[in-house]
C-alpha cells in the first residue's frame, strides 16, 4: 500500500529517522549522562538519582557482574523488580557489561518463573526480597548461579532506607520467609563492583539487548528477541513523533506501568532517558490514594498508562486536586497497551485539559507501531498513523492486502520488528515472514488518510450465527452507561448460534441491573451484538498493566459451566 499516512504527518515529524544515531543503548545512555549529568534521572518515593549517579551506579553494577561473577558478553541477567531506583541501575549495568536483560514479572508463580529462567538460560537474577520465596521454589532445572537480592529502600538515604525496609518487612509483613544462602545483597554488589573499572563491551545493532517475554498469561511464554538496533530504532521513532512537544532536560514523566513491561520500558525509561527527563517511578499504582498523593505533589509534564489505569484515576476521590496542582504543566498523556474507551478519553480531557493520545504497539515491535499526532484536539477513536520508518498493511486471511475501509490483520515491517522468538523457530516463521513482515494478530481497519482503527484481537472475535462481533466494541458501548466502572466481554458457546456475547461488569452504582444494561445495549447495538448473558463482579481479572484478561474470563466460564453452576 502507498504510505498515504505520510501526507498527514504533523509538520515537525520526519518520514524517516536515523536509526544509526546511536551504536547501542549503551551509547545512548552514556551521551545522556554526559549531557544531563547534574539533572534528576529517576525519582521514587521522593528520593532522586541524578544522571551522574545513574552513570556511576550502573557502571559499578556492570563491573560486579563482569569481575565478581565472571559473566561475559551475551550472558542473560534476569531482573525481577517493580518500579524502584534499583531497576534502571540493574538494567543499564547489565547492558553496559554487554549482557542480555531478561525482564521478569515479579507476580509470576513459581511455575511461570521457572519456565522463563530455564528457557532464557539466565545465569544471574536480581530480585526484590518480597518475591525471593517464589525464586526459591523456581531454581530447579534452571541455569541460575548468581542471585542478587534487594529491599525496597536500598538506594534511599540511610535513615529513610532503614525506616522503609523496617516497615515493609516487619510491620506490614510484606516479605514472606525465604532462604537463598548464596544470595548477595544489592548494595554489597555495588560496593564490590566499585573496586573495579567496567570493561568495555563493544556492541552493535545486531547484539541482543532483551529477551522480552510475551504471552505468559495465555500459555507458554515466548522470549521475544529484541536487539540494540530494534530498541534504538524505536526510541528514535518515538522521539521523532514527540519531539515537537518536549524539551530536552526539562521534562518530568510519571511512570506507573511496570518497567519490566515493554510499553513502559521503551516509552518511559529509554525514550525519556534520551531526553534527559526525570522518570517518577510509581512502585504500586494500584494503591490509588498513594498514587494520587504522588501526582498531587509532582509538577509533571507527561504521563503514560492504559485505559483501566486512567479510568481508576478519574473515579478516584480527590483527583480534581491533581488538576489544580498541575495547571499549566501537563503537555502529554499517552495511552497504550489496550484499546482506549471514548468515555475515559473524553473525561480525561475535560478534567486535565489535554487529550489522551492513543497509540498502538506490541512486544514484537519494541513496541511502538502507530500513534496519534500530538497536536490532536480531541479523542479520535483511532490508534493513529504508522510512525516514521514503519510500513504497515491490512491483510485478509489469505495474506492479500486489503483496500481502505476493510477489516483485516495488521502487518508491520520496520527496524523495530523483532529478530524472532528465542528457541522457537517454528513459532517465529508463523508470525514473521522471510522478508521481515510481522503478523500482529490484531484486526484493524485503515481509512483513506492512513489512520488505523483497532477492532479487536483476532483470537477474541466472537462469531454469532456467522456474524463477527468484536468485544472491544461491546465494551465501549457498555462503558457509556452511567454506573459502570469496568467491563469485559467474551464469547461463550451456544447451541443455536455457535456463540453468544457475555458481559462481565463491575458497577459503582448499586441500582444498576441486568435489565438496564441490556436495554442500553439494545439501543446502541444491532441485535446479534447484544449480550445474552450479564454477570456482575466485584472485580475483573487483569494483567500487570491493567488489561482485562478475557482468556481468564473464558476459563472461569468454562469451569462454572462444567461444574453446572
Output 164 or 337, whichever has higher pLDDT. 164
Q: Where in the chain is the domain with CATH 3.30.300.30?
A: 461-563
Domain 26-32+48-203 classification at class level: alpha beta
When pLDDT is cut at 50, 70 and 90, the band that residue 58 belongs to is very high
Cβ–Cβ under 8 Å, residues 506 and 485: yes
For residues 385 and 446, give the distance between their C-alpha atoms in angstroms, rounded to a whole number: 9
In the chain, count H helices and then E strands. 18, 26
260: number of CA atoms within 13 Å, CB side?
A: 24
In the predicted structure, residue 564 carries a pLDDT above the cut 80 = no
In the predicted structure, residue 219 carries a pLDDT above the cut 70 = no
Cβ–Cβ under 8 Å, residues 206 and 227: yes
In the predicted structure, residue 218 carries a pLDDT above the cut 50 = no
In the predicted structure, residue 362 carries a pLDDT above the cut 80 = yes
The string of DSSP codes covering 507-552 is ES-TT--HHHHHHHHHHHS-GGGS-SEEEE-S---B-TT--B-HHH
In the predicted structure, residue 216 carries a pLDDT above the cut 60 = no
When pLDDT is cut at 50, 70 and 90, the band that residue 565 belongs to is low
For residues 127 and 78, give the distance between their C-alpha atoms in angstroms, rounded to a whole number: 8
- Beta bridge partner(s), residue 48: 43
Q: What tens digit of pLDDT does each residue of 27-46 get? A: 999 999 999 999 999 999 99
The CATH fold assigned to 461-563 is GMP Synthetase; Chain A, domain 3 (3.30.300)
What is this structure's pTM?
A: 0.87
Q: What tens digit of pLDDT does each residue of 373-432 get? A: 998 888 999 999 999 999 999 999 999 999 999 999 999 999 999 999 999 999 999 999
Q: What tens digit of pLDDT does each residue of 524-547 get? A: 888 889 999 999 999 999 988 888
In the predicted structure, residue 457 carries a pLDDT above the cut 90 = no
Alpha helices in 288-370 (DSSP H): 288-297, 307-314, 319-326, 342-352
pLDDT, the chain, mean: 94
Best CA proximity match to 454, nearest among 502, 410, 396: 410
Cell of 455: 477492532
Q: What tens digit of pLDDT does each residue of 61-112 get? A: 999 999 999 999 999 999 999 999 999 999 999 999 999 999 999 988 898 8
Looking at the chain, the whole-number percentage of residues with pLDDT higher than 90 is 84
* pLDDT the model gives residue 215: 66
* pLDDT the model gives residue 466: 73
Q: Where in the chain is the domain with CATH 3.40.50.980?
A: 26-32+48-203
- Beta bridge partner(s), residue 77: 101, 124
In the predicted structure, residue 1 carries a pLDDT above the cut 90 = no
Amino acid at each position: 500500500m502507498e504510505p498515504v499516512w505520510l501526507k498527514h504527518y504533523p509538520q515537525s515529524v520526519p518520514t524517516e529517522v536515523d536509526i544509526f544515531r546511536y551504536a547501542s543503548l549503551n551509547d545512548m545512555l552514556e551521551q545522556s549522562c554526559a549531557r544531563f549529568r547534574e539533572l534528576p534521572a529517576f525519582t521514587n518515593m521522593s528520593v532522586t538519582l541524578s544522571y551522574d549517579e545513574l552513570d556511576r551506579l550502573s557502571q559499578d553494577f556492570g563491573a560486579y557482574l563482569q569481575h565478581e561473577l565472571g559473566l561475559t558478553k551475551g550472558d542473560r541477567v534476569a531482573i525481577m523488580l517493580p518500579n524502584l531506583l534499583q531497576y534502571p541501575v540493574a538494567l543499564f549495568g547489565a547492558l553496559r557489561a554487554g549482557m542480555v536483560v531478561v525482564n521478569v514479572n515479579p507476580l509470576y508463580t513459581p511455575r511461570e518463573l521457572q519456565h522463563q529462567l530455564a528457557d532464557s538460560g539466565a545465569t544471574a537474577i536480581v530480585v526484590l526480597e518480597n518475591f525471593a520465596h517464589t525464586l526459591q521454589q523456581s531454581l530447579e532445572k534452571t541455569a541460575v548461579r548468581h542471585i542478587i537480592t534487594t529491599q525496597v529502600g536500598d538506594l534511599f538515604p540511610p535513615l529513610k532506607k532503614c525506616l522503609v525496609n523496617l516497615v515493609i518487612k516487619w510491620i506490614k509483613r510484606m516479605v514472606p520467609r525465604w532462604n537463598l544462602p548464596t544470595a548477595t545483597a544489592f548494595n554489597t554488589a555495588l560496593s564490590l563492583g566499585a573496586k573495579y573499572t567496567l570493561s568495555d563491551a563493544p556492541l552493535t545493532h545486531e547484539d541482543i539487548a532483551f529477551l522480552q517475554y510475551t504471552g505468559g498469561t495465555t500459555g507458554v511464554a515466548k522470549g521475544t528477541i529484541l536487539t540494540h538496533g530494534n530498541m534504538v530504532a524505536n526510541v528514535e521513532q518515538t522521539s521523532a513523533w514527540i519531539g515537537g512537544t518536549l524539551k530536552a532536560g526539562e521534562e518530568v514523566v510519571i511512570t506507573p506501568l511496570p518497567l519490566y513491561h515493554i510499553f513502559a520500558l521503551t516509552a518511559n525509561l529509554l525514550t525519556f532517558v534520551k531526553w534527559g527527563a526525570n522518570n517518577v517511578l510509581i512502585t504500586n499504582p494500584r494503591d490509588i490514594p498513594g498514587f494520587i498523593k504522588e501526582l498531587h505533589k509532582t509538577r509533571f509534564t507527561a504521563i503514560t498508562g492504559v485505559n483501566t489505569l486512567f479510568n481508576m484515576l478519574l473515579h478516584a476521590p480527590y483527583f480534581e486536586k491533581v488538576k489544580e496542582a498541575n495547571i499549566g504543566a501537563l503537555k502529554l498523556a499517552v495511552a497504550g497497551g489496550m484499546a482506549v474507551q471514548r468515555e475515559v478519553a473524553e473525561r480525561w480531557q475535560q478534567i486535565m485539559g489535554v487529550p489522551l493520545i492513543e497509540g498502538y504497539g506490541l512486544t514484537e515491535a519494541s513496541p511502538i507501531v502507530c500513534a496519534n499526532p500530538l497536536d490532536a484536539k480531541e479523542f479520535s477513536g483511532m490508534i493513529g498513523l504508522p510512525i516514521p520508518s514503519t510500513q504497515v498493511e491490512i491483510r485478509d486471511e489469505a495474506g492479500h492486502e486489503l483496500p481502505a475501509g476493510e477489516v483485516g490483520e495488521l502487518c508491520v515491517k520496520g527496524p523495530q520488528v523483532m529478530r524472532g522468538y528465542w528457541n522457537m523457530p517454528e513459532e517465529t516463521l508463523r508470525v514473521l515472514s522471510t522478508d521481515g513482515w510481522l503478523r500482529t494478530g490484531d484486526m484493524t481497519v485503515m481509512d483513506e488518510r492512513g489512520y488505523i482503527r483497532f477492532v479487536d484481537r483476532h483470537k477474541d472475535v466472537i462469531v454469532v450465527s456467522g456474524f463477527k462481533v468484536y468485544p472491544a466494541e461491546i465494551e465501549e458501548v457498555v462503558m457509556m452507561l452511567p454506573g459502570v466502572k469496568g467491563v469485559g466481554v467474551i464469547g461463550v458457546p451456544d447451541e443455536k448460534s455457535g456463540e453468544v456475547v457475555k458481559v462481565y461488569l463491575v458497577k459503582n452504582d448499586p441500582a444498576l441491573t441486568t435489565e438496564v444494561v441490556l436495554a442500553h445495549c439494545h439501543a446502541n447495538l444491532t441485535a446479534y451484538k447484544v449480550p445474552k448473558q450479564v454477570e456482575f463482579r466485584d472485580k475483573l481479572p487483569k494483567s500487570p498493566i491493567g488489561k482485562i484478561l478475557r482468556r481468564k474470563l473464558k476459563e472461569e466460564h468454562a469451569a462454572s459451566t462444567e461444574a453446572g453452576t
